[in-house]
Chain A
Amino acid sequence: MTAVWKAAGLTYNRYLAIAARAARRSLKEDKRIIAERRGETDLKFSKWQNGKAGEPQNLEKANTAAMAESAS
């Protein structure tokens, strides 16, 4: 049986990130505030073509779109 998340196109990496995020959010107040900072990522990238930089894109949004595309 394939896991639901795999069928929805999510990667194992994404699965782990979500599980870790849920665990962090369940911590007691003081520890949670420190821990939740670790879950934040903010990364932009742009594709270079013919020596010109493309439109800068948000990595997280691009990943979500890619996962929706690979859903079976």
Chain B
Amino acid sequence: MNSFRFARVALRARPSALRVPVQRRTYAEAVSDKIKLSLSLPHQTIYKSQEVVQVNIPAESGEMGVLANHVPSIEQLKPGVVEVVEESGASKQFFLAGGFATVQPNSVMSVNAPEGYPIEDFSADAVRAQIAEAQKVASGSGSEQDIAEAKIELEVLETLAAHVK
């Protein structure tokens, strides 16, 4: 019974709230609509809490784009291309070998990977040569571990081949 009365009060209150524009400036409106991105490797920091517009990551659960105020999450990355849309509107692509991406509640994002380079640093010839070699090992008669390793390499190389021209 009590909850009914509350519901009616809420209904009545809503139209007036719509008419009067909110004058209050809250924290959520004052912060920018950018993500603070840190993209780091064991040997190098590519982005150090730099403000960017959007980050597209190849998560194990599927490709996803992250904008400001994204729901906090932890994603395991597949070997693949991370695309960063910078403030200027230009986008940069990096190939990462794996790792994790975490999104924190206040538009702070960090991506950690064991190895990563701009996509233009890869050589299509080197990729092609390695695919041939890995395929030979994967279909060969090596130990179970050797075959599994060749399959990991194939996963990386085939993704690279799709992106490197």
Contacts and interface: CB of A to CB of B under 8 A. Distances in A.
A62 to B, nearest CB: 13
Interface in A1-58: 4-5, 7-10, 15-29, 31-32, 35, 38
B121 interface: yes
A26 B127 contact: yes
B126 interface: yes
Interface stretch (B47-55, B67-75, B92-100, B102-110): B92-100
B145 A20 contact: no
Nearest to A29: B123
B143 interface: yes
A68 interface: yes
Contacts of B43: 38
Contacts of A26: 122-123, 126-127, 130, 156-157, 160, 164
Question: Which residue of A9, A16, A26 has the most chain B CB atoms within 10 A of its CB atom?
Answer: A26
B155 interface: yes
B79 interface: yes
Given A15-B98, A16-B114, A20-B98, A5 B157 contact: no
Contact of A28 (B79, B121, B155): B121
Contacts of B99: 16
Nearest to A9: B145
Interface of A: 4-5, 7-10, 15-29, 31-32, 35, 38, 64, 67-68, 71
